[in-house]
Amino acid sequence: MTHTQIKKAVIYSFLSSMFISTSVNALNTPSVIASADDGNVATNTLDNDPNYETRWSAKGNDGSQWIRYDFGQIVQLDGIKIAFFKGNQRSTYFAVESSVNGSSWTSVLGSTVSAGNSTSPETFNFNETKSARYFRIVGYGNSSNTWNSLTDVDFIEAQNPGSTISVPAQIQAEDYVSYFDTSSGNAGRAYRSDDVDLQNTGDVGGGYNVGWTANGEWLEYDIYVSESGMYSADVRLASSRNDAGNLEILVNGISKANVDATNTGNWQSWETSNVDLGTLSSGNHTLRLKINGGNFNINWIDLKKSGQTPGNGLNPNLAPGQNFDLFNWYLSVPTDTDNNGKADSIKTTSLTNYQDSDFFYTASDGGMVFKCPIDGYKTSTNTSYTRVELREMVAGTTDTKALENNWAFSSNKDSNFLADVGAIDGTLKARLKVDHVTTSGSSSQRGRVIIGQIHAPKDEPIRLYYHKTPSNELGALYFAHEPETSTGLDEDYIYLYGNSRSSSMTNPTDGIALGEVFSYTINVTGNILSVTIEREGYPDKTETYDMTNSGYNESGQYMYFKAGVYNQNNTGDADDYVQATFYNVEITH
C-alpha cells in the first residue's frame, strides 16, 4: 500500500520549477468601477501609462471610497502592484478585499501603508493565494490629507494556477491531487505513471476514467467553493458486476453522500446518479471520493448549486454536523457528563454525528437548532449564564489556547504574534431565525439572547443581541462593543433595528419577529468592525465601529468567533429557554 502526494499532473511539476508570477492583465483585463472620483476616473489605473501621470482619485479617509476590479470569472492571485500619486512624498493608507459575488467581501490585506518613497509600483504579496472574481482597494487617505489617489494597479497571478478547482465545476476523476491505492502501478497505463489505475474512456467526451477500483481506495481534490449554498453532485459510474460497491463523497473529512454503483451492463456503459450534498460554505475545501466495495469505474463528478434554499434542501434525518460543515468548531452544552462542574464541550470531529434532543438537533426543515434553558451548567466560574454555542477552532484541533486555533486583527502591533496565530482578520456569516426567548424572571433579563460574538482572551469586541420583551410583538437587534479591560473604556451599544435595549422599550416598528429568517455578517478588517443585517423586504443595513482605541491591537489579543444561543437570563423559571434555528453558518479569514 502506498500513499502518494501528487503535485498535480506531471507537466505541472515540471512547469512549477520555471513558472514565474505574471500579470493577470496579460490574460484578461478586468473591468473597473469606483465609489466616486473627482474627474480622475477609475479606468486610468489600467491605462498602462509609463509615466504614471494619470490617476483615479476620491476624497475620504473613513473607508467609504473604493475602487473595484471585476475579472468576469474566478481567478487566483498571489498579490497586487500599486503605484501611488505623489508616492515619493507621502504614504497611502488602504486595505484590499476580495469577493466571489461582488456583495460579500473578505479581507485580503488588512490595514496597509505604502512606503512613501517612490512613484513606481509597489508590490504587496498576499499571505496566501486568493481565489475570487472581484478585488477592491479600500482607501483610508494618506499621511498628508484625506485623498485616495492611485496611478496604476496590476495583479500578480498565482503560481501554478489551476491546482485548485473552482466549484461549481465538473471534476474529472483522473485530476486528483492525492490518493490511496491498494495495488502498485497503473493497470491501465494511461495518462499518469503512479499507482492509480487509469484508462482511456469510451464515455461521451473521451478522456480517461479511473478503473480497477478496490475497497478502501480514495482520491482527493482541492476545491474552492465560489458561493455558499446548497449543492448537489452528478456522478458518472459504470460496472459489469452485480456486487459493485458505492462511492462515498466527503468534504473536509465529513461524509456528505453515498452513490450506489449498479451493473450497467458493461465497464464502459455509463450512468449518471444525482445526490444532495447539503450546505457547502465558500472557501477552500478538500473533496475526497472514497471507494467502498470497489468493482466500478469512475469518470467524473459534477458539483453544482442545487437551486434549493437553506431549510428546503437540508436533510431533516441527519445530525446537524452532517448537514453543516462544523470541522472548525466545538460546541458547549449545559450538561456535565464528566462531573467536572462545568458545561460539556463537544470537540471538533466529534460534532459530525452529535445531536441532543434537548439542546442541539436537526429541525423538521433541516435547520440546526440551538436550545438553551436557564438552568444548567456553565462554561466557567466567571460566566453567569448558560449557553448552547459553537466556538471557532481555526486549525480544527482541540486546544482552545493554541494560537493556531485563534486569530488576530491585522492591526496588531506584534508581528511575531501575528505570525503565530491561525488567521488574520475574519468574517462570520449566519442565516437564522430566533424561535423563542425567555418570558419569566427579572424584567431586565427577559427576552435577551446573544446570537453571535467575537471573543478575545477576557473581553468581547462584539456581542450581537436579539431582544424581545414579553409585551412587544417584534424584537430589537443591536450589538455591544466591549473595549479591552485595561483601557478603562466603557461598553458601547449600536442599534440595528429598534433604538433601545431597555426592558420598557416600545415595540420597534421595524423590529424582527420570532420566526423571521434573517442573516448577519460580522466582519473585522484591521481596527474596523462592521455588522450587516439582511432581511427579505428590507435594504441591507450596515453599522461600523472603529476599534483603534479599544486595545485589541496589542500583543496577546487573540480572537475567536462564536455562534448559537447565549442565554442572558438567570432569574427566570428553570425550564424557560432561548432557541434559534440556523440555516447557514460560515467563517472566512
Would the CATH topology of 20-157 be identical to that of 362-370+406-588? Answer: yes
| CATH fit for domain 362-370+406-588, picks 1.10.10.10, 2.60.120.200, 3.20.20.140, 3.90.180.10 | 2.60.120.200
d(C-alpha 185, C-alpha 178), whole Å: 15
Q: What is the domain partition of the chain in residue ranges?
A: 20-157, 163-305, 362-370+406-588
Distance CA 259, CA 242 (A): 15
List phi, psi (to 5°) of 462. -155, 140
Contact assessment for residue 195 and residue 12, using Cβ atoms and an 8 Å cutoff: no
**Which residues pair with residue 221 across a beta bridge?**
287
Instruction: Give the angle 404-410-415 at the CA atoms, nearest 5°.
Output: 70
Q: What pLDDT is attached to residue 14?
A: 31
Interatomic CA distance for residues 586 and 431, integer angstroms = 9
Least Cα distance to 121 among 51, 37, 16, 28 occurs for 51
DSSP alpha helices (H): ranges in 5-118?
10-16
Contact at 8 Å (CB) between 387 and 380?
A: no
pLDDT at 225: 84
Angle at 415 between CA 411 and CA 416, to 5 degrees: 140
Cβ-based neighbours of 350, under 8 Å, separated by 6 or more: none
Domain 20-157, classified CATH 3.60.15.30, yes or no: no
Distance, in Å, from the CA atom of 154 to the CA atom of 416, rounded to the nearest integer, reads 29
Supply the pLDDT for residue 17. Answer: 30
Ramachandran area for residue 52 (φ above 0: left; ψ -120 to 50: alpha; else beta): left
φ/ψ bin of 205: left (φ > 0), alpha (ψ from -120 to 50), beta (otherwise): left
Supply the pTM of this predicted model: 0.53
**Containing H/E element for 323?**
helix 320-323
Q: How far is CA 294 from CA 144, 171, 243, 565, in A?
A: 68, 20, 9, 44
Going across the sheet that includes 541-546, the strands are 360-362, 368-373, 577-588, 426-436, 518-525, 528-535, 541-546
Query: Residue 299: CB partners within 8 Å, gap ≥ 6?
Result: 172, 173, 201, 203, 207, 209, 210, 236, 237, 238, 270
pLDDT at 264: 95
Q: Quick check: 375 and 386 in contact, CB under 8 A?
A: yes
Q: Please, are residues 491 and 479 in contact by the beta-carbon 8 Å criterion? A: no
Q: Which CATH architecture has domain 163-305?
A: Sandwich (2.60)
pLDDT along the chain (589 residues), means of 10: 30 30 50 95 93 95 94 82 95 92 86 92 84 91 96 81 74 90 93 90 86 96 82 94 96 89 95 86 86 97 73 80 91 94 89 94 92 94 91 92 95 96 96 95 96 97 97 94 95 96 92 90 97 86 96 96 97 95 94
Residues 364, 370, 375, 378, Cα dihedral to 10°: 150
